[in-house]
A = this chain, B = another copy of it.
Amino acid sequence: MHNKQDEASENARPHVVIVGAGFGGLEATKVLANTEVDVTLIDRHNYHLFQPLLYQVATAALTPAEIASPIRHVVRNAKNVTVFMDTVEGVDAKAKTLMTKGGRQLFYDYLILATGARHSYFGKNEWARAAPGLKTIDDAFELRQRILTAFEKAEMEDDAEKRKAWLTFIIVGAGPTGAELAGAIAELARCSLVYDFRHINPDSARIILADAGERVLSRFNPKLSAKAHQHLEGLGVEIALNARVNHVDDGGVDMGEHHIAARTVIWAAGVEASPAGKWLAAETDNMGRIIVKDDLSVADHPHIFAIGDTASLTPDGDTEPLPGVAAVAKQMGKYVARRILTDRSSKALSSFRYHDMGSMATIGRGKAIADIYGLRFSGFLGWLLWSFAHIYYLVGFRNRITIGLSWIWSYLTWQRGVRLITGQQEAEQSAQQKAKVRKAA
């Protein structure tokens, strides 16, 4: 197959390799589908993930299948698109080749880097074990398992202090992910679980949302921030602002002068880009994102583009780079795909411009804030807008239907359908079984 691709590059059909099937990579693929280029789309997962709803998987409201679609299935009708499940490990820009973990060498004429971001502990990687973040489906499983297990452990705990630590949840970082998680955990405790225990009252759980900044959801307009703050407090979330986290371990969090005992800590405080910048030894910003030119190409590499969370682009007149949100990634994906097609047809294309349609965040059942073209909404109306927008943007017709039903179901019954603790115990057992196997072998 390598040969086939090499041949292709000698022919008229150029080979576009897209690394990452997130919002940006998938959008670029869709524009290039059934055009005069050959596309190879590489992702380490076999699915495209609708990340904005991942917190609902972590809090047992949705199943992963409701927010993820197999990439192959999404692009099945684009016969010029080949999908590989593999992990890219490096790029040789001189040879126009990239190397994968699976041992593949792939020649490209154009390369689109859409490799996304992971959570960052600002150099404190040792906190990762005690305070996992939320970026992948397996992260969501891990959080769901920890959150649900905490209530189970509390139910079985005789010691009041220890029980309290099991029932304390600290979310570090009050951006959209942190705020949405805090709201969802509060609802889980106050509503869904409330009749299910005999020794504890889940309603007594403390949910603490901590942030180093001065307000929650600081990327929003201050008025909407204040609304969100109010919604969160209405759900019984304690909000700690200007809170400096000095230490995190299995026992809890040191915040400012205080130690708060908590067995569940979730990290939603920051992200860093994937190592794509290192592959090219390109100039990156403080989050590791490649600083791109105004056509999203990488300096000195006119055939390599970086988009979404992999790219750092500060629009003229602005002081901050564009934020790492789905809308930016999608618009960038669409632009670079057109840029490549235009390049072939030698037409000029103006530089990339982001059209900001606004942003939204939800806080628990029936409450959200939304800022759409400068119009501000909050409360139930905000939530309706948020729901419609998210269902509309979900990839795949089936997902829209089943998510719609899941939400209506949760809304009517206060129940969460996915309260399954999987993984942890099995991991222990399988370790035991492996040990047994080793012994037997």
Point out residues on A near B: beta carbons under 8 Å.
1-2, 44-47, 63-66, 68, 70, 72-73, 76-77, 79, 81-87, 102, 104, 124-126, 128-129, 136-138, 141, 148-149, 152, 155-156, 158, 193, 195-199, 398-399, 401-402, 405-406, 409, 413, 415, 417-423, 425-426, 430, 433-434, 436-437, 440-441
A198 to B41, CA, bound (A): 12
Contact for A73 among B63, B65, B415, B430, CB less than 8 A:
B415
Q: Is the CB of A44 within 8 A of B156?
A: no
CB-CB under 8 A for A433 and B1, given A76-B195, A415-B398: no
Interchain Cβ contacts under 8 Å between A and B, 5 examples: A1-B158, A47-B420, A85-B421, A102-B156, A125-B433
Q: Is the CB of B65 within 8 A of A420?
A: yes
Q: Is the CB of B409 within 8 A of A398?
A: yes
Chain B residues, CB < 8 A from A155? 83-84
Q: Is the CB of A422 within 8 A of B137?
A: yes
A47 to B420, CA, bound (A): 6
A120 to B287, CA, bound (A): 51
Chain B residues, CB < 8 A from A87? 425
A419 to B102, CA, bound (A): 21
Contact for A148 among B46, B197, B433, CB less than 8 A:
B46
Main secondary structure of the interface of A (DSSP, over half): mixed
CB distance from A199 to the nearest CB of B (A): 6
Q: Is the CB of B65 within 8 A of A138?
A: no
Q: Is the CB of A65 within 8 A of B129?
A: no
Q: Which residue of B lies closest to A440 (CB)?
A: B125
Q: Which residue of B lies closest to A148 (CB)?
A: B46
A125 to B441, CA, bound (A): 8
- List 10 other contacts, CB 8 Å, given A84-B155, A126-B437: A1-B199, A46-B148, A47-B420, A63-B64, A64-B422, A68-B420, A82-B198, A83-B196, A85-B149, A129-B437
Chain B residues, CB < 8 A from A441? 126
Chain B residues, CB < 8 A from A398? 409, 413, 415, 417
Q: Is the CB of B423 within 8 A of A138?
A: yes
CB distance from A416 to the nearest CB of B (A): 9
Chain B residues, CB < 8 A from A402? 402, 405-406, 417
Q: Is the CB of B70 within 8 A of A196?
A: yes
A26 to B420, CA, bound (A): 17
CB distance from A4 to the nearest CB of B (A): 9
A89 to B425, CA, bound (A): 15
Q: Is the CB of A421 within 8 A of B46?
A: yes
CB-CB under 8 A for A156 and B196, given A398-B417, A420-B70: no
A124 to B197, CA, bound (A): 42
Chain B residues, CB < 8 A from A149? 85
Q: Is the CB of B73 within 8 A of A196?
A: yes
